[in-house]
Amino acid sequence: MADYTNLQKRFLARRILLAILFLIPIFFGAGSRPAQAQATYPIYVVEYGDTLSWIAQRFDTTLDQLMTLNNIQPDDMLRPGDRLQIPSLEGMQGILTTEYVALGSSLTSLSRRSQTDTAVLVKANRLTSPSELFIGREIIMTIQENGSYMTTMPAVKPGQSFLEASVLSGKNTWLLAELNGLASPTMGMPMDTYYMPSAEANGSNLALPGIKSIVLDNLPLIQGDTFLIEVESDQPVTIKADLASIQPAFVDLSGVQMAYGGINAMTEPGVYPLTMTVTYPDGSEYRFDQLVMINTGNFQIDKPLQVDPESIGTEAEKAENAMFKSIVLPVTPVQQWDGLWYSPAQDADCIISEFGSRRTYNDDPGVYYHTGLDLGYCNGTDVYAPAGGTVVGVFPNQVVRGNTIVIDHGLGVYTMYFHLNEILVEQGAVVESGQLIGIIGTTGRSTGPHLHFEVDIQGTPVNPLTWLRRAFP
Ligand SMILES: [Zn+2]
């Protein structure tokens, strides 16, 4: 305790000094003009296509105020790269940016990371309650211009003080305390998230003991889309997650646990709880909840399809659906793809029908959705594997799907190819990205030659275009 006593003495001395400094203006400053703090404004860097009135509207200010503060004349031209101070966001500093609220973010952590007062963040984002900070919400933040990032400090472990943790991080402890809005380095709490300047960004916003980073990827989440939870730890922890009743399976890939999930295309857009549980080797458990926004997929509504009523909902169809569902459920604990996927068709833009479009049949009141992406044969009929994987199913002459291939890419991610004219791979074959696997056809329940390309995650069909447009992880 001797150390603390010394420290407390230092505090006391510091506080007395501060009190004297604050009192000086009261005793000696009466009658003179009070020193006014220089107002700070954040900088918005003009992007291509921006107009002054759009910028004014975006940041809840007026054209007049914007022009006055930035000394803009009516004839001045706005150019990409121009820097404008934003009058409505007084008190913020740095470069304005918009980002999606990430897993683990709170008003306090966002304030620490952006070095912005919580009240200013609340005002800038018109927040009326902290619960509005759900994951995936777009939020106005600032970043510092000097090229350094604010990244999460290693977690304060139970029994450890912020002081110890900050000493271990090799930074100035008082500076770190100040950057994190703490009155002193002894005020930090375990399980709270603190930030430190760093040359490199880290994606994590949550500091848990033993966890290096924990990220929910592919924000903002959308109906019928893929999400990924990535957890990097320095001890063998068990992770469980539940998002809108989806429990993605975590697979440990040499210290990084990956869990892919698919949001059902029929899930109502809205805010859903995400619950995560981390279990440590000693059996102790840490659980946290945060709300996540699931946005609309803006799916098209197709005209009601007229089909032979005898062909809908038959026993053969039900059996076929059940069989395919069971094939895509196992989670193989390897990742067989590498980076961005290629289009399985020769012409990636030859899209006949998008994923997720709403469909009704005859007078049936039920609403279904299109579970894949229909690609035509605008520029050839070859079908390629979009990514590495193992052929786990080769099924000729299915009632609905026709000649069909199923590929397992690992980690619960599967692709399927329906209505093929020809199947050019064998069951069990390991395929590479770009390998020829079939020929487009119109077998099964199909109204013309096309490829129905489907991506399923743990049995839930997801939008294949996402996998063609961005790389996972
Ligand atoms: Zn289709």
Say how many Å lie between the first and final Cα of the chain, rounded: 48
Q: How far is the CA of 373 from the centre of ligand 1 (A)?
A: 6
Beta strand 195-198 pairing with 211-217: unpaired
Q: What is the mean pLDDT of residues 126-141?
A: 86
Give the closest residue to 353 by CA, choosing from 440, 265, 444, 450: 450
* pTM (predicted TM-score): 0.80
- Is the pLDDT at 326 greater than 80, yes or no? yes
Shared domain check, 290 and 255? yes
Q: What is the mean pLDDT of residues 420-440?
A: 97
Highest mean pLDDT among 35-39, 257-261, 348-352: 257-261
Q: How far is the CA of 432 from the centre of ligand 1 (A)?
A: 24
- Is the pLDDT at 20 greater than 60, yes or no? no
Tell me how many domains the chain contains.
Answer: 2
What pLDDT is recorded for position 7? 43
- Is the pLDDT at 469 greater than 90, yes or no? yes
Shared domain check, 448 and 315? yes
Shared domain check, 360 and 262? no
Shared domain check, 383 and 246? no
| pLDDT tens string 385-399 | 999 999 999 999 999
Please give the distance of CA 35 from its chain centroid, rounded to a whole number: 45
Q: What is the mean pLDDT of residues 74-87?
A: 92
What pLDDT is recorded for position 203? 66
Highest mean pLDDT among 104-118, 130-144, 256-270, 305-319: 256-270
Is residue 236 a part of any domain in this protein? Answer: yes
| pLDDT tens string 208-265 | 777 888 899 999 999 999 999 999 988 889 999 999 999 999 999 988 999 999 999 9
Shared domain check, 461 and 436? yes
- Is the pLDDT at 16 greater than 60, yes or no? no
Please identify, among 269, 295, 321, the residue that sits at the C-terminal boundary of a domain. Answer: 295
Q: C-alpha angle 32/40/150, rounded to 5°? A: 130
CA distance 166 to 465: 44
Q: How far is the CA of 130 from the centre of ligand 1 (A)?
A: 42
Q: How far is the CA of 454 from the centre of ligand 1 (A)?
A: 8
Residue 339 · residue 415 · CB < 8 Å: no
Is residue 1 a part of any domain in this protein? Answer: no
Shared domain check, 259 and 372? no
Shared domain check, 347 and 451? yes
Q: What is the CATH number of the domain that holds 372?
A: 2.70.70.10
Is residue 94 a part of any domain in this protein? Answer: no
Q: How far is the CA of 390 from the centre of ligand 1 (A)?
A: 22
What pLDDT is recorded for position 133? 86
What pLDDT is recorded for position 2? 38
Please identify, among 253, 273, 295, the residue that sits at the C-terminal boundary of a domain. Answer: 295
Is residue 280 a part of any domain in this protein? Answer: yes
Please identify, among 239, 266, 295, the residue that sits at the C-terminal boundary of a domain. Answer: 295
Is residue 248 packed enough to be buried (19+ CB in 10 Å), middle (13-18) or exposed (0-12)?
buried
Shared domain check, 380 and 291? no
What are 29's two structure tokens? Answer: 């400053």
Name which residue leads in pLDDT, 81 or 161.
81
Shared domain check, 273 and 231? yes
Q: What is the CATH number of the domain that holds 261?
A: 2.60.40.10
Is residue 318 a part of any domain in this protein? Answer: yes
What is the overall mean pLDDT for the chain?
86
Shared domain check, 339 and 289? no
Shared domain check, 356 and 230? no
Percent of the chain scored above 90 by pLDDT?
51
- Is the pLDDT at 331 greater than 90, yes or no? yes
What pLDDT is recorded for position 391? 98
Q: What is the mean pLDDT of residues 410-433?
A: 98
Shared domain check, 320 and 441? yes
Domain extent, residue 265, equals 213-295
CA distance 127 to 435: 51
What pLDDT is recorded for position 83? 95
What pLDDT is recorded for position 357? 94
Q: How far is the CA of 455 from the centre of ligand 1 (A)?
A: 11
What are 238's two structure tokens? Answer: 């068990």
Q: How far is the CA of 340 from the centre of ligand 1 (A)?
A: 22
Q: How far is the CA of 371 from the centre of ligand 1 (A)?
A: 7
- Is the pLDDT at 356 greater than 90, yes or no? yes
Q: What is the mean pLDDT of residues 32-53?
A: 80
Name which residue leads in pLDDT, 379 or 222.
222
Highest mean pLDDT among 129-138, 182-191, 329-338: 329-338
- Is the pLDDT at 158 greater than 80, yes or no? no
- Is the pLDDT at 21 greater than 50, yes or no? no
Q: What is the mean pLDDT of residues 69-82?
A: 92
Q: How far is the CA of 211 from the centre of ligand 1 (A)?
A: 42
Is residue 379 a part of any domain in this protein? Answer: yes
What pLDDT is recorded for position 370? 94
What pLDDT is recorded for position 428? 97
Q: Report the sign of the C-alpha dihedral through residues 309, 305, 225, 106, in that order.
A: negative
Q: How far is the CA of 372 from the centre of ligand 1 (A)?
A: 5
Is residue 161 a part of any domain in this protein? Answer: no
Q: How far is the CA of 453 from the centre of ligand 1 (A)?
A: 7
Is residue 444 a part of any domain in this protein? Answer: yes
